[in-house]
């Protein structure tokens, strides 16, 4: 999460602004510190020193006006690029190659959408992130996927308190404020024109394009770590997120996958599955079916979570769980199961799901899943109204079911 390793124009701009400020303040430090050290050494009292006390004057107009002038000059040197950077960050550029229609291969785009860059609505919740892709009709949570080298316009909102979007290597930070929409744009890697400019290359042609594609693949395609950067309550420190930067093809495939969502565990149609579930759930057997029955029934998961494909899992209070089994972390990045080689550590993933369902109040103190006015899993009761938390076996099956959502 270093802001010194920049992977995009916004982070670069912010780094150069930071360095400018560092150099200006460093110069001030050297000048002031130098005068101070000079005075201490030159005018210190020595043994047997019989020099008279220097005259104690103050108020030299020349020095005072000079210092005021120098301060103003330094502030202007910092302020002008700062304002430029603020505008640069806010105004999403119109890059023809970034327009959705020029790179997204999937279907179902309205014509006017094709002219815009990819838009992602980033919505902050205590303590997780929703990422909506309105042009593509999909929503994911905590792990956003974006295409390399393309401008992405972000709309930042919050449903509860102020959060802040910070993806250090790519861009940051802009606050998510309840009742208003902030905007920024991000871009992982340079576009073709900027890349050529930096390399000192000119022209067009398939070879250059291939080199550019290699640059994106080798240097930009990656998994980036983000974090909420504004104190937002007791689990603020556990409000992380991720961005996976991929090529156009992989992005298009990911969108298609998100749109399709999930089938039933045993290959029945959802209608068949639900008619069995409603009549006699006992006919639906196996760990995954048991997990899904708990997801819809006693676990109350579907009250708050949506799973694409499943016609009755439509909750919106919690993260969308479509393809949650393909994500490399859960609980907003706090429980990680990404192995060093970038694959998913299946055993770790199981442990994380288990831990999260077993004791979400410990993993993320204060979260709604544990205690949501009679709906949370910490408040589950049996037929007699007695507390009845999920058993180990139930949590096991729910975990297996969630792992299968990929």
Nearer to ligand CUA, 125 or 185 (CB): 125
CA pair distance 264, 274, nearest whole angstrom = 10
Residue (166 or 251) nearer to ligand CUA, CB:
166
The reply to whether 122 sits near ligand CUA by the rule CB under 6 A is no
Closest approach, Cβ 228 to ligand CUA, in A, equals: 3
Q: How many residues does the chain have?
A: 406
Q: What is the per-residue binding string for ligand CUA in 238-267, x denoting contact by CB under 6 A? A: -x----------------------------
Q: How far is the CB of 239 from ligand CUA (least distance, A)?
A: 4
Which residue number, 228 or 368, has a Cβ lying nearer to ligand CUA? 228
Neighbours of 269 (CB within 10 A): 10
* 2/168 Cα distance (integer angstroms): 6
Q: Among 118, 141, 228, 363, indicate the residue that binds ligand CUA (CB under 6 A).
A: 228
Looking at beta carbons only, is 9 or 172 nearer to ligand CUA?
172
Q: Which residue, 118 or 232, has its beta carbon nearer to ligand CUA?
A: 232
**Residue 124 vs 172, nearer CB to ligand CUA:** 124
**Residue 404 in tokens:** 């299968």
How many other CB atoms sit within 10 Å of the CB of residue 313? 22
The reply to whether 124 sits near ligand CUA by the rule CB under 6 A is: yes
Tell me the number of residues near ligand CUA by CB under 6 A: 9
**Residue 141 engages ligand CUA in binding (rule: CB under 6 A):** no
Q: Is 169 in the site for ligand CUA (CB under 6 A)?
A: no
**What are the structure tokens assigned to 349, written together?**
């993933």
Q: Select the residue interacting with ligand CUA from 13, 132, 143, 230 (CB under 6 A).
A: 230
Q: Which of 147, 154, 139 is nearest to 253 (CA)?
A: 147
Q: Is 232 one of the binding residues for ligand CUA (CB under 6 A)?
A: yes
Backbone angles phi, psi at 216, to 5 degrees: -60, -45
- When the beta carbons of 239 and 398 are compared against ligand CUA, the nearer one is 239
Applying the rule CB under 6 A, the residues between 304 and 363 that interact with ligand CUA are none
Q: In the window 144-163, what residues touch ligand CUA (CB under 6 A)?
A: 163
Q: Could you say whether residue 236 binds ligand CUA (CB under 6 A)?
A: yes
Least distance to ligand CUA, CB of residue 243, Å: 16
In the bound state with ligand CUA, the residue whose beta carbon lies nearer, of 169 and 236, is 236
Token pair for 308: 């694409």
Q: Interface with ligand CUA by CB under 6 A: which residues?
A: 124, 127, 163, 228, 230-232, 236, 239
């Amino acid at each position: 999460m270093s802001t010194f390793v920049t992977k995009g124009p916004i982070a670069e701009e912010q780094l150069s602004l930071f360095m400018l400020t560092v150099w200006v303040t460093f110069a001030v430090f050297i000048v002031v510190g130098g005068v101070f050290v000079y005075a201490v050494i030159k005018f210190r009292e020595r043994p047997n020193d019989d020099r008279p006390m220097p005259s104690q004057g103050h108020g030299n107009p020349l020095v005072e006006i000079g210092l005021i002038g120098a301060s103003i000059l330094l502030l202007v040197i910092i302020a002008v690029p700062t304002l430029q950077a603020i505008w640069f960050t806010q105004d999403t550029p119109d890059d023809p190659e970034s327009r959705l229609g020029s790179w997204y291969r999937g279907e179902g785009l309205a014509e006017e959408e094709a002219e815009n860059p990819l838009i992602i609505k980033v919505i902050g919740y205590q303590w997780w992130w929703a990422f909506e892709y309105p042009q593509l009709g999909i929503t994911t949570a905590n792990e956003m996927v974006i295409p390399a080298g393309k401008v992405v316009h972000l709309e930042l909102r919050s449903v509860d308190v102020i959060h802040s979007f910070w993806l250090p290597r790519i861009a940051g930070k802009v606050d998510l404020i309840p009742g208003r929409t902030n905007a920024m744009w991000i871009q992982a890697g340079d576009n073709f024109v900027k890349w050529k400019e930096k390399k000192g290359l000119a022209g067009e042609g398939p070879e250059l394009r291939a080199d550019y594609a290699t640059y994106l693949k080798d240097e930009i395609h990656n998994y980036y770590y983000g974090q909420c950067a504004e104190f937002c309550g007791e689990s603020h420190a556990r409000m992380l997120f991720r961005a996976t930067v991929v090529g156009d093809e992989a992005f298009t495939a990911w969108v298609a996958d998100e749109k399709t969502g999930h089938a039933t565990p045993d290959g029945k149609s959802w209608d068949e599955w639900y008619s069995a579930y409603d009549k006699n759930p006992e006919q639906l057997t196996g760990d995954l079916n048991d997990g899904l029955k708990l997801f819809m029934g006693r676990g109350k998961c579907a009250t708050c979570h949506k799973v694409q494909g499943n016609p009755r899992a439509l909750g919106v209070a919690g993260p969308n769980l479509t393809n949650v089994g393909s994500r490399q972390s859960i609980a907003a990045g706090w429980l990680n199961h990404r192995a060093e080689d970038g694959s998913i550590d299946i055993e770790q993933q199981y442990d994380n799901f288990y831990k999260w369902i077993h004791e979400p109040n410990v993993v993320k103190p204060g979260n709604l899943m544990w205690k949501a006015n009679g709906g949370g899993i910490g408040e589950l009761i049996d037929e007699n109204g007695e507390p009845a938390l999920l058993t180990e076996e139930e949590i096991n099956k729910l975990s297996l079911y969630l792992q299968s959502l990929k």
